[in-house]
Amino acid sequence: MSRTRTALLAAMALVAGATGTAIAAVPGDAGAAAVPCTVDYKVQNQWDTGFTASVTITNNSAAKSSWSLKWSYAGNQKVTSGWNAKVSQSGANVTAANESYNGTLATGGSASFGFQGTYSGSNAVPATFTLDGVTCNVDSGGPTDPTDPTDPPAGNRVNNPYTGAKVYVNPEWSEKAAAEAGGSRIANQPTGVWLDRTAAINGVNGGMSLRDHLDEALRQKGSGELVIQLVIYNLPGRDCAALASNGELGPTEIDKYKTQYIDPIKAILGDSKYASLRIVTTVEIDSLPNLVTNVTPRATATPNCDVMKANGNYVKGVGYALNKLGDVPNVYNYVDAGHHGWLGWDDNFGASADMFKQAATAEGATVADVHGFIANTANYSALKEDNFSISDNVAGKSVRESKWVDWNRYTDELSYAQALRNQLVSIGFDSGIGMLIDTSRNGWGGANRPTGPGATTSVDTYVDGGRYDRRINPGNWCNQAGAGLGERPQASPAAGIDAYVWMKPPGESDGSSKAIDNDEGKGFDRMCDPTYTGNPRNNNNMSGALPDAPISGHWFSAQFQELMKNAYPPLS
């Protein structure tokens, strides 16, 4: 669980400045400005024997080129690892010194770092902090900025928001599903609410606004617990490698993203009216992985992704979203983590984890603002391939050598998500992070679902004959023919997995089969054209897409029927 506490020291009569000059602290705003530094220390997550904390220093004295913050614990807390600062401990005394890249502290400037520790008994917040030997007061805002009226009061997060909670059923999606023949069988399933443009905050074309959804979530909640799932999806230069889901903001419009999109969402989520909801955010799907796999010198590079890596606006945007939304005590941020058929290779896996860490420590965010990660969002990768494993050898060759696996380390989403979680913890993310897996379209049932391994004639016949995922290539992502609904949403289904979710609402198109004019900024991607013969990202195979699809996000009846027909577990 997360626990946040800050304390404001009593107004000090005299505070020694960095130069030894006495600075008088006076009541009101003038006194707050006169103290040489403030420290905001937050216990972000806490469990039986451990915790993570984030610390923000604000320097109100002369500019610094380096800094060192010290405090002492009253209990037996021990720091075990840190990030964005060199954190060391001797007895009860802790010192956090700047890294080479964040030593500059301008007058009025701030620096943030975080750490993980252990404790037993109580875990009290330190009473006093000194910055370069000068005593600081402690910001009274808790996890909030006292000058920001949109910040909510402090609260506690649970380890897994899905445990013991219902999950929000989107009435707009439910109505469309129920109107389809046979759709009533799944119309009561929870799906994500996609905020895929600024206008979605207030409702598009008479549709439900974010507040409307939150109000309806309160109604569905009743006296119990309820999770509402929101997809935060509007980065500048969005989806640089997939034209079908390009967004409204140009590559340089990071300020619009911050002030016109994230800030209004935070203001709404921070309304105390919604404090009893568990709000899960899926932060910017298909963004950060592109900065690893689709940039120069990769053969899969695109000019748009090169631009977004160079200008840093994906990293800045994700960091800003995590920082701001993470301030809301009942928000649980899950960062998109691609899928095994994208990031499972040796040269993608670790580099992607490092990219996630870079974004999670940008724009004032810390790893403590990340509650977990989500895999397979809006994709089709099978949850678990039972008929072959990565360690199998057939006809003198490893499964990794098959054309389908193609030297990947993972064959399915469950093994990938669990391994990625371990990798993320190893580089500084909280050991309590959980994974979500989107199972909305990865069931691969129907008549073509294999019941056992393929023939052992060759490694390819073995894998191709036994695999559940019937795509032509795992790089195919648009409106896949033969796909089916997957496992129904459920909490804590496997070790390290917080939930299986239907974040992508089944029946909503991935992109149009041909160019269609629209006012949503969405382009035409040939991967959505069933006649397309492919590119390096799918090893130049056919796209496998369904014909006659509308633009992304619009209702696609033929896809919905396909998903129900091929559902696994089957629909009754």
How does pLDDT run across 75-108, given as a tens digit for each residue?
A: 889 999 888 899 999 998 999 999 988 889 988 8
Q: How far apart are CA 465 and CA 18, in angstroms?
A: 72
pLDDT at 126: 87
What pLDDT is stored for residue 42 in this prediction?
A: 85
Residue pair 3/156 in contact (Cβ under 8 Å)? The answer is: yes
- Is 510 one of the annotated active-site residues of the chain? yes
**How far apart (Å, rounded) are the C-alpha atoms in residues 458 and 456?**
5
Q: What residue type is 398 in one-letter code?
A: S
pLDDT in tens, 179-189: 999 999 999 99
| Cβ(277)–Cβ(217) below 8 Å | yes
pLDDT at 139: 41
Give me the DSSP letters along 351-384. HHHHHHHHHHTSTT--GGG--EEEESTT----S-
Q: Which of 151, 369, 412, 510 is catalytic?
A: 510
Q: Residue 323 in 3-state DSSP?
A: helix
Asked if residue 415 lies in contact with residue 389, where contact means CB atoms within 8 angstroms, the answer is: no
The pTM for the full model equals 0.74
- Say which of 286, 392, 438, 498 is annotated catalytic: 286
**What number of CA atoms fall less than 13 Å from residue 153's CA on the CB side?**
5
Mean pLDDT rounded to a whole number for the chain: 88
Reply yes or no on whether 132 is catalytic. Answer: no
The three-class DSSP label of residue 537 is helix
Q: What is the DSSP string of 388-452?
A: --TT-EETTEEGGGSTTTTT-S-SSHHHHHHHHHHHHHHTTS-TT-EEEEE-TT----STT--SS
Q: What tens digit of pLDDT does each residue of 495-538 get? A: 999 999 999 999 999 999 999 999 888 889 899 999 999 998 89
Q: Which residue shows structure tokens 């795992």?
A: 474
